[in-house]
């Protein structure tokens, strides 16, 4: 793998950025299809995608920088160096939601419906992002036999390991040893999540339920893949993805069960 698609003089097109643009364009296409089916103004989906995309970028970077402030406080000029990695998906989800909330409020559109429309697109867009991580050599895992892995996760076959280039973040940390390509694990699981959400979107769900299912599903996915991750963010002794995943599961369950509770109360 190589982080640069092509370069002309000082101008370089990187896989990491290309995957963000691809995710945005595919997301707009999916949103427009869903908008037509749900009788939501499809011409406003580009605006929605813009608010969510910008909110996601800002949220993902701010979240990562704050949890890595010991480094970025010493090298503040690195805060803008997003091509080196350092975008946290959980911060991106929070920022993207805030962007969708602001858009829904200004356009008088139902936020729950917009979140349901976005859920499959977010899952697929995340898969594109993980391919960017793979080509960039970041968001990497531990060596296959690392003592930092739980004992029951040290028995993967050698062919599953990937040796990253020495210039990549993964290669600089571990050298020429096979690592868990954890970004590819998550890529596959996110694609499966997209397939599941896309196939369920026509069911008579109450507004917000599809988004709730996404939160629960991705919380489980990330909790599992984080067991392999060598670069997870931490909150004290706890992996931050595990902490956030608990919040996501609780939130998803509350969203999915809220209509039933309202019906029972009635």
Helix (H/G/I), strand (E/B), else coil: 13: strand
Beta bridge mates, 135:
none
Which pLDDT score is estimated for 149? 93
d(Cα 139, Cα 130) in Å, to the nearest integer? Answer: 8
Beta bridge mates, 170:
none
User: Does residue 190 contact residue 127 with C-beta atoms inside 8 Å?
Assistant: yes
**The CA-based dihedral angle spanning residues 85, 91, 93, 99, taken in that order and rounded to the nearest 10 degrees:** -110
User: Does residue 12 contact residue 22 with C-beta atoms inside 8 Å?
Assistant: no
**In whole angstroms, what separates CA 162 from the centre of its chain?**
22
d(Cα 90, Cα 56) in Å, to the nearest integer? Answer: 9
d(Cα 132, Cα 126) in Å, to the nearest integer? Answer: 10
78: phi then psi, degrees, rounded to nearest 5? -80, -10
Which pLDDT score is estimated for 78? 87
* Closest among 11, 9, 22 to 135, alpha carbons compared: 22
Question: Encoding tokens for residue 51?
Answer: 């608010």
Q: Can you state the angle between helices 111-136 and 15-38, rounded to 10 degrees?
A: 160
Alpha-helical segments (H) within the chain:
15-38, 45-67, 69-72, 89-107, 111-136, 169-174, 182-200, 209-225, 240-265
Q: How far apart are the first and last CA of the chain?
A: 58
Q: Can you state the angle between helices 182-200 and 209-225, rounded to 10 degrees?
A: 160
H or E element that contains 35: helix 15-38
Please identify which residue in the block is written with the tokens 């991705």. 218
pTM of the complete model: 0.91
Q: 172: Cβ–Cβ under 8 A, 6 or more apart, which residues?
A: 166
* Length, in residues, of the chain: 266
Kindly give the confidence (pLDDT) of every residue in the chain, 266 residues in length, as a single tens digit, with 9 standing for 90 and above: 788 898 888 888 889 889 999 999 999 999 999 999 999 999 999 999 999 999 999 999 999 999 888 888 888 888 888 777 678 999 999 999 999 999 999 999 999 999 999 999 999 999 999 999 999 999 999 999 999 998 999 989 999 999 999 999 999 999 999 999 999 999 999 999 999 999 999 998 899 999 999 999 999 999 999 999 999 988 888 999 999 999 999 999 999 987 655 555 44
């Amino acid at each position: 793998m190589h982080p640069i698609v092509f370069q002309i003089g000082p101008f370089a097109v990187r896989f990491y950025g290309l995957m963000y643009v691809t995710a945005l364009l595919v997301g707009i296409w999916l949103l427009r299809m869903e908008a037509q089916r749900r009788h939501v103004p499809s011409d406003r989906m580009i605006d929605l995608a813009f608010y969510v995309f910008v909110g996601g970028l800002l949220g993902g970077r701010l979240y990562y920088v704050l949890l890595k402030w010991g480094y970025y406080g010493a090298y503040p000029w690195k805060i803008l160096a997003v091509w080196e990695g350092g975008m946290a998906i959980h911060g991106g989800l929070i920022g993207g939601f805030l962007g969708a909330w602001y858009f829904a409020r200004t356009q008088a559109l139902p936020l729950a419906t917009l979140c349901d429309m976005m859920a499959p697109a977010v899952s697929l867009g995340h898969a594109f992002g993980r391919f960017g991580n793979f080509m960039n050599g970041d968001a990497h895992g531990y060596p296959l036999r690392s003592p930092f892995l739980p004992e029951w996760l040290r028995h993967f076959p050698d062919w599953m390991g990937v040796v990253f280039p020495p210039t990549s973040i993964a290669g600089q940390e571990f050298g020429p040893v096979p690592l868990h390509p954890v970004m590819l694990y998550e890529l596959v699981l996110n694609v499966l999540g997209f397939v599941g959400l896309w196939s369920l979107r026509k069911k008579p769900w109450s507004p917000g339920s599809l988004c709730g299912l996404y939160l629960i599903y991705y919380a489980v996915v990330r909790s599992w893949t984080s067991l392999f991750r060598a670069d997870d963010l931490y909150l004290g002794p706890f992996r931050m993805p595990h902490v956030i995943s608990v919040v996501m599961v609780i939130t998803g369950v509350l969203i999915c069960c809220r209509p039933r509770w309202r019906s029972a109360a009635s």
